[in-house]
Structures are given as C-alpha cells and as structure tokens.
Amino acid sequence: MGTTRGIVFFIYGESPVFLMTASIWMLRRVYDGPLHVLYYETNMELISRVAELPGVTVSEYQPDLTLFDPKKMRIRQAAWVMKAHGHMGQYPYDVNLYYDLDHMWYKPIDMSIFNEAEEHGVVNPWAHYSKPSLRSRLITSQHVPPIPDYRTANGGCVCAVNNHPTIREWLELTQKNIACKNYYLYNNPEETALGILMAMGKIKELDKTWSAPPGKVDDTVIAGHHSKGRYVRDPLWREEAKKAWKEDFLGMDSQFGNEFWYNHIWRWDEIRAGS
C-alpha cells in the first residue's frame, strides 16, 4: 500500500459551523481527493452530515493533557494548538495538508506540496510578510535563545508527515510559548513556534502558491487565506457562499443559517450597492 495523502480540517466549538459548510463546498469545487474533518465539541448534526459526503471522513479529537489542557485556554488559542497537535497521529493520512476554514480555493490543488513534505518533514507556504514586522522583531529580541531571522509563519496552512519528529518539537515549543509571559509568544503560540522553527531551518518555507493573503493573490495562487474575517470582503467568496446557501448544502440554510451569516454574505453586497 502506498503513502496516503489528503487534506484535513479542524473544527472546535459552535462558532465555525457555518464557515465549515462553506469551506467544504468551496474546496470540493477544485478537489475531489480524500478529506478528513477532525472535530472537538462542535455541532454533531453537522458532523453527521459531513460524514455522509463521498470521500470525506471524520474523527473526534483526543486531548493529550500531558501536553496542554484545552479547558484552561481561550477557545481560539486552544483551537490553534489542537490543530497543530492533530499532526501527531490524529490526522489520518501519512502526509496531511491542513487548511484553516477561512480559505478560498481558486484552482486545483498542486499536489507537489506533498512531495515537499515527504522530503522535508514539515513545510509551510509563504510567510505573509516579506519584511520583519514589529511583532517579529519583538519575538526575535525577547526569545531565549535569540532567533536571528524570525519569520512570521502561516499557521493556517501546514503540510506535514504524520508524527514527524519536528511536529513534536513544534508542540514542545508551543508549550513553552504558552507558559511564558511575553504576549507576542503566548498570544498565538503555535504559529509563533512555527516561525521560530522555520528560522532555525527545521521547517521549509514554500512560496505563496498554496496559501496567500488576499492582497497577494494572483494567477499562481491556489488558495487565499482570508484571516481575521476578511473572507466576507471577497466577492468571489460571498458568491460561492450564496450558491451553497441556495442549495442548502449540509443544511447551510435550513439548519445553520442565521442572521449573523445572512448579514455577512447577503447584506454586505446590499450595503456596498447602496441599498
């Protein structure tokens, strides 16, 4: 049996339920390969519907309290750490390509990223900033030992060999970031740890092909990473979300639609049109 490869999502809590339905809809327009959803304390009605989709599997996340306790963390911070922990055997494939749910896919997945991961263990598409930011400089100056060339990493897209030794290092460094008193280290601990390991040469940085911020999307980019809620500003994202809503994909309208999401994908266009 050959090496298994696939894309993985992670969902924690009720808030991302609607975004999950939109993400699966959009990904399936350009990718029909294996997809797995790792979940923790979320809407089980959605999970049961997702599990019925062709080529999609689901499993429940199992916390490892020797590493961290999600109940003692802010939900967003815990979700960031758990999605990294998934690469330690909880994602199902030999090589897993993780995407945050706030991506928009524009073209078929370039599968060469799996080859890169098999060669290097862990790879991270283009760090979002070409020049060191203030946050980068503060992390560089305050981390012990100092990091000479810290890069702001893209925690929203990571491709890795399952249970690779670098993943253990990533989680251990994440633990240290959580425990420290430096806001720039503990506020987003797994992504900061990713950038530190990248600067140390333990994680290979790829170009923006697989994940780029909206302002950097061009014809070479497969997916735009609309972090901090910026997906609602993308007319292409809203248009696809409307299609999924109209078809009631996974109960997007009948089960999970609400005024908040209606305002996000419908009222945005009405407001911009001056209606």
Instruction: For residue 266, tell me if it sits in a domain.
Output: no
In this prediction, residue 72 carries a pLDDT of 85
153 or 181: which leads in pLDDT: 153
pTM: predicted TM-score of the whole model, two decimal places: 0.91
Cβ(21)–Cβ(256) under 8 Å? yes
- 180 falls within a domain: yes
Question: Residue 170 falls within a domain, yes or no?
Answer: yes
Give residue 70's pLDDT band: very low, low, confident or very high (50, 70, 90). Answer: confident
Q: What is the pLDDT of residues 147-175, one digit of tens each?
A: 767 777 888 999 999 999 999 999 998 88
Q: Is residue 235 domain-resident?
A: no
**pLDDT tens-digit readout, 249-265:** 998 888 877 776 777 67
Rg (CA), the chain: 18
User: What is the tens place of the pLDDT at every residue in 92-140?
Assistant: 999 999 999 999 999 999 999 999 999 999 999 975 554 555 566 666 6
| Number of domains into which the chain is organized | 1
- Please give the angle made by the CA atoms of 16, 8 and 255, to the nearest 5 degrees: 35
> What type of residue is 220?
T
In a domain, 13, yes or no: yes
pLDDT in tens, 21-69: 999 999 999 999 999 999 999 999 999 999 999 999 999 999 988 888 8
Look at residue 257 and tell me if it is in a domain: no
141 domain-assigned: yes
d(CA 102, CA 164): 26
For residue 174, give the CATH number of its domain: 3.90.550.10
More confident residue, 33 or 17: 33
* Position 273 in a domain: no
Lowest mean per-residue pLDDT among 28-32, 90-94, 140-144, 186-190: 140-144
Q: What is the extent of the structural domain holding 154?
A: 5-229
pLDDT recorded at residue 132 = 55
Q: Is a pLDDT exceeding 70 seen at residue 219? A: yes
**Cα 67 to Cα 251: distance, rounded to the nearest angstrom:** 36
